[in-house]
Each structure stands twice: as C-alpha cells, then as structure tokens.
Structure 1
C-alpha cells in the first residue's frame, strides 16, 4: 500500500524525478547548513551580545539610581526616558514569513536578555515608528512609584542583516544548481528520446538509421545494443523472406508439373471427379503458399502514396458484389491518406473475406475521422468469435474454433492485417457491433507515412 502511494506521488518521467530529487537534496543540504549555522554559530553569538547588552543596561540602571535628584532630570531628558510605556511596544517582535530569520534572531536575543536582567526589569519591542527596545529601569529611591522606560538601540548582532543576505545567496545557489541539473538531464534525455523514436519505427516495420554512439558511456552502450538488435532483426527478416520465397518457388514448380501430369494422364471421357478433387487440393496449397508470402512481405518495401481510401473500399466492394456478396457502405469524407496501395488492398480484402466466410450476413464497411485518425470498420452479423477471442488470433498460426469447418487457411490472416496496420502507424481493434455481430476496426493516423 505504501509502495503504491509512493509510485503515485512520484513524477512519471525520469527527467521530473531527477529534478525533484536534485531539488530535495539541495534544499535538504541548505536546511542542514542553516540549522548548524543557527545553532552553533549565530545563537551563541547573539546570546553573548545579549549578555554584554544586559551588562550595559545594568550599568545604566545603577547610574540612574546613583544620580542625585537635581541632576537626574537632565540625565533622563538626555536619555529620552518615559514614565509610561508607548502603546506600540509589545512583548515580542511580530512574526513575519519574509523575515523569519530576523524574527528568530531577535527572539533569541530577547530571551537571553531577560535571562540576564532582573525579573523586575522587563523588555518590550517597538516596531512602529522605528525599531527600538524599551527597558524599564528601577525607580529611584526618592520616587519609588515612577520607574523610567528607556529606548535603547539594538546591537548589530541582534539585527542579522548580513546573514540574511548570505541565506538568500545560498538559496539562490541551490536554485542555480537545480537549473544546472535540469539542463544536464535534458542533454541526457536527447539520446533516450532518439532511442524511443527509433524503437517505434522498428515496431512499425521500418528500418531506422543507426543511433549515434558518441555520447556518455552508458547511453552509448544502449545505442550500440539497439543498433545490433536492429541489424539482427533485419537479417532475420531478410532470411525469413528468402526462405519463404525459396519454399514457394520450389513447391510451386512441382505443383505445376503435377497439374500437367494429371491432365495428360487422364484419358478423354474418363471420370473427372478425382481430377476436380485434386485440383481443389492443389488450389488450397497455392493459397497457403500465398499467405506465407504475404506474411513474410507485408509491404515493407512498398512506397507509400497519397490516395483516397474510400475509392479503394468502393472498388473492392464492387468486386465482391460481382461475386454475390453485397457490402453496405457508409463512407464519410476522408482526407488524403499516405498508404501503401497493395498492402492496404491486401488488408481490406482479408477483413472483407473474413466477414464473408465467418460472418456471412450483415456485411458492412464504414469509415470516419476522429481525433486525428481515420477509422475503417468492417462488420458482419455472424455469431462466431467474440472480440476477446479475436484478440488472441493476432498471433501467427492461431485459428479460432469457427475455422474448423473452413479449410485452406493457415491462421495468418489477422496477423497480416495487424502487421500492415502497424506498418502504417495504426492499430487493429475488435468491437461488438450494435444490434449483434462484430466489427473489426483499423485505426490509421492521418499523418501516416
């Protein structure tokens, strides 16, 4: 539970976490330095100043007590003594957030001063009309009911002006250190962002340029490992395509010879049911080989071209209508989209063919634009697999339970569709259709490559 709360409290990005950690460390160091300075340097200094000031006040009090009555009036007038305390004088300085250190230092001074002065000599603070410290002297022996209040200037050690500047300078240096850390982290984040963009391009089926390896040692090691991985993927992809092309060529050649041999071996007028069945099996083998080739290629080498996606859908719907499969079209106005024509046609044909084979009724295709993306939805009213089951069929060679009655498939149809969608920067989604059935969505960004 505590770990979950900590994860929620932490910033999401590495940059923000490092900056937050740096700020916390700088502020913690400043607080520690300030605490040591206040407790071990400034506080003893202020207490010594208060002790010296208390000695001065005691001496002045003794002087007033020893002064003859005739000369006392001139002395009290010179000291600006008052018989009544001004209303502006208070027991302690008023709190101030902006001057917190100065207030703290004066409170320490007052507390230490009261500890050194007799209890019947209180001290009061005046802030209005100038800052002064009022001390009540003992009443003279000939006038015991008229004590004197004398305003005395504060010593420099109780002011704390110079130290305030030092504190603000220290805080400024802490902020400067945080900004320097921010700039350093931004510099370190640049190769990470390049790595992220390159990884996304690899995921989309592209071949990004090799990442630079001249940065910091750790980043360079990651870049080299990524470059090696990309090269290994390219080699594996090329090997797979070459292998499948070789298999396709080597198998199709004897298949063609087998067709010719069957046609030449059967005498005229003989029962052709065996030939028809054999031709059907050979067609299924041809279809399987083509699906393997489609999965191996998926259009990576085909250049994208701006085109009207609705026009491609209408042309395919017309072809299926000629075969007796009517698709209801609901096509919105779409912007021009850069797509690979053959790959996109293969994607739409696979989805529409799946809707015919596994849905059968309620065939429909609709398009719309939302959130900077174009969506093509192919739907049917069949009662086959659910959207959750179809998500599992994105993996190669996976066939659903409703495919048992349909021969000639390899379980690569949806894998091919998803690879082509990702090649265009999009995604493949499955949604229940309103009124029953299923819709397969292909979401493509408008700025697709």
Structure 2
C-alpha cells in the first residue's frame, strides 16, 4: 500500500502539470503573504488615528453632555445614549473587576493617543464586572465613570477576517493556477499521447498546427516525422519482400541441385543442413524487421493459443512439455505474432535449456491472472530446467545478434530469437522479464493486459 502511494506521489511530483501548479501556487501564496503584510503596515497608523479620534470624540461629547445637563435630566440622557448611540456610562467603583484591554497591535498606540487628549489617568478594559465591551474611564470633577462602547464600533479587520479574505483569494488564485497549468500542458499532453500511440504501432491523428510558435513548430515536426517514418516502414516492407524472394529462390534451386547431385550421404545431409540454416536465418531477419500493426489486433484466447502451441511442441522427440494454463485468458493482439513469440521461446528453450545429464528438454508453460478485476493482467511463463545464464549477462540476451554460447551451449542462427520476442511484445504494449529460475534454468515472463 505504501509503495503504491509512494509511486503516485512520485508521479505527482514529476508531472509537469503539478510542477507548474505548485510553482504558481507557491508564488500566489508568497504574493498574498507579502500583500497582507504590506496592508497591515500601511493601514496601522490610519486605523490607530481613526479609532483614537472616535474614542476621544465620544468620551468628550459624553463628558460635555453630562456636565452641562440638569441633574434631573441626566437619567434620560443616559437612556438616549444607550438607545441611539450604543454608549453606556457607569460609575467607576474601586471594587470593579477589571480585565486588561484587548491584546492586539493597535491597542498600545490607541492608549497613547487617547491618554494624550483625555489625561494620563485614563483607563482601558475589555471587560468590567463580566460585561464585555470597549471600556474607557473619564472623570467629571472628582467622580470617575466608565464609558462602554460596543466593540464593533472600534473594531477593524480581525485576524480571522484577514485569514478568511486571504483564503478566498488563495482559492481563486489556485483555481486560476490550475487552469493556466492545464492550458500550458495541454499541447504537451497531446504530444505525449500521440508519441505513445505511435510507439505502440498505431497511427495517431495529426496534431493541431496552431497556437504559440514553439508548439506549432513542434506539432508540425511531429506530423512530418510520422508521415516520413510510415513511408520508411512501407518501403522497408517492400524491400524485405524482395529480399525474401531473391534469396529463397536460389536456395530452393540449390536444394534441388543437392538432391540431384551425385554426393555421399554425409555431404548431402551437411549441405541440406546448411541450406536449411540459411533459410532459417532469412526467416529470423524477416520476423525481426516485420512491423506489428496495432490495427490488426483482435481479442485473442491466449489459453487456447498456448494449449495449441504446447500440443504442437510435444510432437518434437526431444521435448517434454508441462502446462498449467488458466482458462478464458483473453487479450488484445495479433494471434500470428503472439504464436510466433511462444514458438520462439519454446525453440530457444529446446536448443539451449536441456536438462543436465539428459537428452530431453523439459519446458514449463504457465498462464495465470494477476491483479484486481479492473487492472487484471495475464502472466505467461515459459521456463526450462537447464543451466541458465550468468545474472550479469541476462540483459545481453535481448540484444540482436547476441548469443551467449559459453553459457547456453553452441547455437545456430543469427541470434534474433529473444530480440524478435521483445520487439513483438513491446508492440503489444506488454512487458517482458527474463531471469534465472530457482532450481536452474531460464524463466521468461510476459505480462499483458486482460480484456
């Protein structure tokens, strides 16, 4: 589970879309942080002046109103201040439970300006006797009073409000970053999909030759490359067909002349063997160079194909086949090419995988399913019981014209058997693994997507 999560995380980090998205997101976040900091610094002094002026004005007007009003009318005046202005005036007692003023960046400067106007004895509080508000003290003659303002009247944007607005702007910015990243990566995604399709043997639809000059030039070059490579592929098929005809015709004539010539039995068999080997080499070259068209792929019953191929191989006198094939294993592919692959693997095992101390080659052919239903794959295994090859030389087996004679015995042919297998497997979008089998021998595994 962790490995799968790590792979997904690695793909997210390596994807160009996500890199662009994260870079734009980081740039937006840094810009937003700088903007909030700048606004906080710029607004600090004006906000302090505004709140201080408001507090001083309210206290001064209330002080003047209470001082100049008739004693019998003060109660009505206090009711009017509460009802119309949200201002409450209470007598300041020595036993009042007073809590300190709000702890924010503005309060120290507000206290300094208000005390400069109202006097150094002015007190501030955020709650008096359990009643929250913005409390300021003032005196009328020798009597002290509390004046309480509603917090909303002197409150600017709080930290939560700043965070809320910053979050809204950040979300909008990230959505914009995702949209911009998508626009930037759309042409590259199209090019990647077209390249993958072409690598799998399909002819991709021409890429649109529009947009920025760089994208337009890349798409035009890719379209031209596809046309030129397909022309090369077509020309190669014609050339190979000619080579096959021109070489095999004299070989057939040589075979006929050998049959009619007055030769000893040993000489005739030797020449016939050489001619047969030359014909096999020509066939290997043609199989290696022959393209596998994805357009010819159909749903294939691999179980039946493997059973048929194994039955045919059992007719060979020096081969013993052991099968373990799951039924109803279907995959998309070319039946002829896949059968050629299995035959090549069996022939490779027959030639080079003989069991030590025996003239019979034991070959195991297995077919099974792997993975969940949605991502189910078919595993095909062909393995022998021979001596295997050194681990450091396994990769050499898949290279064209390579034979590991010292490890696998003497070989006839051009050394294209496993190279043909790998080429066909890649055309089918499958995976090929070659490794030594536990207990001796070589194991070749093919993994294909099930349908």
Do the structures match in fold with TM over 0.5?
yes
Match of 1:293 in 2: 286
Selected match of 1:90 from 81, 99, 105: 99
Q: How much has 1:344 moved relative to structure 2? A: 0.9
Aligned ranges 1:361-440 → 2 under 5 Å: 361=355, 362-371=362-371, 372-386=376-390, 388-402=392-406, 405-440=409-444
Whether 2:47 is the aligned partner of 1:46: answer: yes
Spell out, residue by residue over 1:98-153, the C-alpha distance to the aligned partner (whole angstroms, 9 max, x if none).
Answer: xxxxx655565346545766543221123998753222335855xxxxx6231243
Q: Does 1:229 align with 2:230?
A: no
TM-score, scaled relative to structure 1: 0.79
Equivalent-residue separation in structure 1 for 2:169 and 2:72 (angstroms): 55
Match of 1:80 in 2: 89
| Displacement after TM superposition at 1:10 (Å) | 8.1
C-alpha contact (below 8 Å) 2:56/2:114 kept by paired residues: no
Deviation at 1:282, TM superposition (A): 1.3
Deviation (angstroms), 1:412: 1.2
Distance 1:354 1:85 in 2: 105
Instruction: Give matches, 1:152-231, under 5 Å.
Output: 152-153=148-149, 158-160=154-156, 172-231=168-227
Question: Closer, same or farther in 2 for the Cα pair 1:238/1:110, shift >3 Å?
Answer: farther
For the aligned residue pairs, the C-alpha RMSD in angstroms reads 4.0
Residue 238 (str. 1) matches residue 237 (str. 2): no
| Aligned position for 1:100 | none
Distance of aligned partners of 1:291 and 1:357 in 2 relative to their CA distance in 1, 3 Å threshold? same
SS at match of 1:363: strand
Identify unmatched segments of 5+ residues in structure 2.
1-8, 79-87, 356-361
Is there any run of 5+ residues in structure 1 with no aligned partner, and where?
A: 1-6, 95-102, 142-146
Looking at structure 2, the residues matched to 107 and 334 of structure 1 have their Cα atoms a distance apart, in angstroms, of 81
Deviations 1:419-449 (A, max 9, x none): 11122221111233233322100111114xx
Q: Report the CA distance between 1:162 and its aligned residue.
A: 11
Shift of 1:384: 2.7
Question: Offset of 1:349 from its aligned partner?
Answer: 0.2
Separation of aligned partners in 2, 1:151 and 1:62:
10
Aligned length: 423
Change in 2 beyond 3 A, CA 1:279/1:49 = same
Which residue of structure 1 aligns with residue 303 of structure 2? 310
Q: Which has the higher strand share?
A: 2
